[in-house]
Amino acid sequence: MTREQFEELVSQALDRIPPELTRLMDNVAVFVEDEPDPGDPDLLGLYEGTPLTDRGEWYAGVLPDRITVYRGPTLRMCETREDVVAETEITVVHEIAHHFGIDDERLHALGYG
C-alpha cells in the first residue's frame, strides 16, 4: 500500500470520529510517518502533547499536540487490506483518546489496545 493510500485511510478514520468529539479536539495535528523511532519499531501510533484533561489557565501559545500514525509497522502486522483499514481506525481512535486524557489501561479494556 502506498503512502498516499495509507494517508487516505487515516483521513477516512478521522472522518468517522463523531462530530461531537472532533469539535472538542483542540490544538492537535495528525501526521503519517513511514517508521517510528528505531527503539520501538512496532509502534503503530504516538500521541505527543498535553491532554485536554491536563490543560489549565497556563495553556496558551503552545505548539499543537501531535498524533502520528506509522505506516510501516501497520502494514507489517496486517495480512489484508481490510486488516489495515481496521487497524488504522483503531490506532487513530487510540491516539485521539490520549488527547482526551484516556490512558492505555482504559483503552485496552475498551478494545483499543
| 54-100 confidence digits (pLDDT tens) | 887 887 787 899 999 999 999 999 999 999 999 999 999 999 999 98
Which H or E run contains 30? strand 28-33
pLDDT above 80 for 7: yes
pLDDT at 113: 67
Rg over CA atoms, the chain: 14
Work out the pLDDT band at 104, boundaries 50, 70, 90: confident
Three-state SS for 46?
strand
Higher pLDDT, 2 or 27: 2
CB 68 within 8 A of CB 94: no
Long-range contacts of 102-109 (CB under 8 A, 24+ apart): none
Q: What is the mean pLDDT of the chain?
A: 91
Residues 6+ apart with CB under 8 A from 4: none
pLDDT at 100: 86
Q: What region, left, alpha or beta, does residue 101 occupy, with left being phi > 0 and alpha being psi -120 to 50 degrees?
A: left
Three-state SS for 31?
strand
State the pTM of this model.
0.89
C-alpha cell at 107: 483503552
